Each structure stands twice: as C-alpha cells, then as structure tokens.
Amino acid sequence: MPNPDHSRPWTAPTATSRLDARVQLPGSKSLTNRALLLAALADGGSTLHRPLRSRDSRIMVEGLRSLGATIRETPGDGRFGPDLAVTPGPIRGGSSIDCGLAGTAMRFLPIVAALGDGPVAFDGDPHARERPMAETIASLRALGVRVDADEPRLPFTVHGARGPGGTGSVRGGEIEIDASASSQFVSALLLVGARFDEGLTLHHRGERLPSLPHIEMTLEALRQRGVDARRVGDASWRVEPGPIAALDERIEPDLSNAAPFLAAVVAVGGRVVLDGWPRETTQVGALLPQLLEPFGATSRLADGCLEVEAVGGAIPGASLDMHAAGELAPTIVALGALASGPVEVTGIGHIRGHETDRIRALVDDIAALGGRAQSLPDGIRVEPAPLAGGAWRAFDDHRIATAGAVVGLRVPGVEVDDIGATAKTIPEFPELWAGMLAGPGGEGATA
C-alpha cells in the first residue's frame, strides 16, 4: 500500500504563548490492530467503535480482507471516521499482502496466514525489508509451516497449513524464540495461538525483552475474548486452544500519540487536557505522566481526562531507562534537545530496528540543528547546546516527524521534510498540533 502523503514538507510552528488546550486523539494503533485481527479469528461478528483510521490500520484491514475476513465501514459516533464491522471467514491463501512499514502487520499477519489454505506473499516498503523478521520466519518453521524466504526478512511467502503439501492444521505446542529485537514476535504468536490444535507455550530466550506492556496488552485482549492466555514465567507465556469470542469494542485514544502533545507542555509551559484518557489501560502511553515528571510536568486524572501542567522555562536534564516504552523514546529525546542539562535514554537499542534506525535519525537531526547528541550501545545521550532552525528529516517515521514538531516549539525554522509520515498512526497530526497551539484564544504560534 503506497504511502499517500509522501514527502509533505512542514515548518514546525513555534509557540508564542503558554499552552491552554484540550486535545482529542484518534484511536490506538496497537489496540485497533489487535482488535481487528482477533475479530477476524473470532467465532462471530464484531464491531470496533472509534477505531484508528490511518495507514497502519488500513494495512491491517486490507491484509485481513485478503485472508478471508469481511470488513465493512459502518456509521460511527467518533470525530475521526466510521466504525468497522468485522465478519470472520475461513482463512484463505492465494494473495499478496503489502505490509507498508507496519510492524504489527508484518509480524502478526504471517502467523494468521499459517492457518490458511494456500500461499500468501508478504512484502512492504523499502525500509520494511530492513526491519527484523527472522523470528517470524523461524517460529513458523518451528511450528511446521513452510516459509519460502531467500533472506531472514521481507519479502517471503507463507504456505498455509491447509494448502497443498501442508499438514492440514497448525499443531502448536511448545516453542522458543528470541524476541530481543521486538515484542511483536511474541504478541503475534500469542494472538493466533488459540487457533493452534494444542494452543501454544512460548519461551523467550535472549539478551533483552523490549516493550513488555505490549505483550500484556496482547494477553488482556485475548482474555477479554474468553481465551485462557497468561504469563507462566519471567519470559514464558501460555495460550490454551479454543474459540475466540466475538467482541464489540470501543477503542481507546492512542496514548503513545499523546506523547508529543504532553511534551509540548514541558517545552512551552501551560496546560494541556487530553480527552478520553482511560482510568485503566494496557497502553504503554499510560507511563507518560511518570516519564515527564523529571522534566517538571505534573499530571492529574479526573473525569476521564488527563491534565498535564508545567511552568515552562528551563527543562532539567534526566536519565531514563525506557526499555518498556521504546516507542515513546523519540519524544523524550526531543525534549532532551531543548533541555538545559544532559538527557540520557537507555534500554532502547532495539529501536534501531523500528520504522527507521531511530537512534541514528535523532542523532543526525539534532546535529543538523547544531545540537549535540551521541549514540550509546543501547540508547542516546543529548548534551545541552544552542539550536538553530534547519532541516529535520522524518525518515518515513511518524515519531521522528513529531519529535521535530516538539523541537520546533522553541527553535524557529525547524523544517520537517515529510510531516506526511504521521499518516502511519495519526494522519490528523498537523491539524491537531495547530489546534493545540491556537488554544482558546487562537493566537499561540507562528507558522
């Protein structure tokens, strides 16, 4: 699926007054794509209310349609578009799926394809071919599923177990993988494991396990659908075989995409209220109030909204281990570029395999503005330095693009080369950002 908004240059607006804004964010990518996939494997029809509508969710919708699900748009009550009604069908082969740059699609859909009745070819954007995929291929082979792959990455073809020469079904049982490069390898197998004859017992053996909250999200999504799914050891999980119940679900706003809006409060000072902040959630973005505290932000959850306040001015330095929340790291590093003390973020070596090599991208972008950032074996360190306007390259990465927006709040003339990269998970970003800066008075920024 081509990226429709490719290369849209954008001058990041600079804030001219303290923030006073209320923001409503579109649905969570991680929750939407899990709900879509589980609905396609369920025992009846499900409706997703207020789903995310973005490139990554469209890729998941198209992929599941190719694999046999019927997915229709139905009128919704959300600001960001229609609901999605999903009717499962027998998993079928015979298609090609373009995963774009969506990690959830490229890791989750091949495991679904293993249940099908023929070959399914997977590919993606040029950079998707560089993202780690070895464990997807190895785990399918360990499950007895044939995968044709010249290299341990995209493109490859999965031969569904019900197809010619297949074993008729995926038996499941006990397997071991190394999920050091991505928690999505674990989530993918757990999401589909209930449809294996013997369910699945999965062990991770490797030097680190990033993004544990995303695995917890997977387990919870399964349990909400009546599947017995649980952690059975430090890095071991079990999913019992059985039906996946249909479920109508209202998708929470994307709390990870709240990161730049909340970082803006630290950068500029003032107050931002985020609507629809869940009291309980499995989203890793729920850690944001705690992550922003060392930078001087205070947060309050009341009446279903999160209110974040900061005084503005000098941003203190900080040292954070973000292994559980790597997807939030680019935003924190952007604050680091504006801080008056050193900011070090560690535990995030694996984000070199995200949409782009995020550590390199951030080091280069900060350097291009005259800043001082340095790559560490498992992270990044930013030293205080005066910044000047200049080019900020997005590298097709939504979170690098929005990190540029955060820096631009205090540095006039930051030119993000491709704000269209935000179409991956938050296509409305430029409008929402402008709305936040305009505030109730409508005069909070220079463009």
Binding site members: 29-30, 34, 103, 131, 182-184, 211, 327, 354, 358, 399, 424
d(CA 79, CA 58): 17
Q: Which of 14, 47, 136, 211 binds ligand S3P (CB under 6 A)?
A: 211
From ligand PEP, ligand S3P, none, which one binds at residue 399 (CB under 5 to 8 Å depending on kind)?
Answer: ligand PEP
Site track for ligand S3P across 286-325, x = CB under 6 A: ----------------------------------------
Annotated binding site for 3-phosphoshikimate, which residues? 29-30, 34, 182-184, 211, 327, 354
Which residue from 54, 57, 180, 187 is in contact with ligand S3P, where contact means CB under 6 A? Answer: 187
- Shortest reach from residue 104's CB to ligand PEP, in Å: 5
**Residues facing residue 201 across a β-bridge:** 174, 238
Which entry of ligand S3P, ligand PEP, none binds 211, CB below 5 to 8 A by partner kind? ligand S3P
Say how many C-beta atoms besides its own lie within 10 A of residue 205's C-beta: 12
- Which of these segments, 206-214, 413-421, 426-434, 439-447, binds ligand S3P (CB under 6 A)? 206-214
327 given a catalytic annotation: yes
**Could you give the 3-state DSSP secondary structure of residue 55?**
helix
x-marked contacts with ligand S3P along 236-265 as a string, rule CB under 6 A: ------------------------------
Contact present, 74 and 85 (Cβ < 8 Å): yes
Q: Is residue 201 involved in binding ligand S3P (CB under 6 A)?
A: no
Q: Which stretch binds ligand S3P (CB under 6 A): 51-59, 87-95, 181-189, 266-274?
A: 181-189
Strands 298-302 and 19-23: what pairing?
Answer: unpaired
Closest separation in Å from C-beta 36 to ligand S3P:
12
Give yes or no for a contact between 114 and 160, defined as CB atoms under 8 angstroms apart. Answer: yes
- How far from 252 is each of 27, 306, 425, CA to CA, in Å? 6, 13, 14
- Partner interacting with residue 214 (select from ligand S3P, ligand PEP, none; CB below 5-8 Å by kind): ligand S3P
Minimum separation from the CB atom of position 59 to ligand PEP (A): 10
Query: How far is the CA of 99 from the CAs of 44, 57, 126, 131, 341, in angstroms?
Result: 26, 10, 11, 12, 40
Q: Which of 47, 95, 136, 184 binds ligand S3P (CB under 6 A)?
A: 184
34 and 27 Cβ atoms separated by less than 8 Å: no
- Cβ-closest position to ligand PEP: 103
Binding ligand S3P by CB under 6 A: which of 14, 30, 54, 180? 30
Question: Shortest approach of ligand PEP to residue 399 CB, angstroms?
Answer: 5
Which residue do the tokens 């941003």 mark? 315
Nearer to ligand PEP, 162 or 399 (CB): 399
**φ, ψ dihedrals at 124, nearest 5°:** -165, -165
Per the listing, tokens 């989530």 go with 187
Work out whether strand 119-123 and strand 95-98 pair parallel, antiparallel, or are unpaired: parallel
Q: Which of 307, 309, 327, 344 does the annotation list as catalytic? A: 327
Which amino acid would we find at residue 194?
Answer: A
Structural contact between residues 76 and 59, judged by C-beta atoms closer than 8 angstroms: no
* Among 59, 104, 61, CA closest to 211: 104
* Candidate list 66, 183, 282, 331; residue touching ligand S3P; CB under 6 A: 183
Q: In terms of CB distance, is 112 or 339 closer to ligand S3P?
A: 112
Q: Residues interacting with ligand PEP, by CB under 6 A?
A: 102-104, 327, 354-355, 399, 425
Window 103-122: residues binding ligand S3P (CB under 6 A): 103-104
- Report strand pairing: 249-250 vs 236-239: unpaired
Query: What does the alpha-carbon distance between residue 274 and residue 19 come to, in Å, rounded to a whole number?
Result: 13
Contact call for residues 154 and 133 (beta carbons, < 8 A): yes
- Report strand pairing: 343-346 vs 379-383: antiparallel
Q: Under DSSP, is residue 63 helix (H, G, I), strand (E, B) or coil? A: helix
Catalytic residue annotation: 327
Give the binding site for ligand S3P (CB under 6 A). 30, 103-104, 182-184, 187, 210-211, 214, 326-327
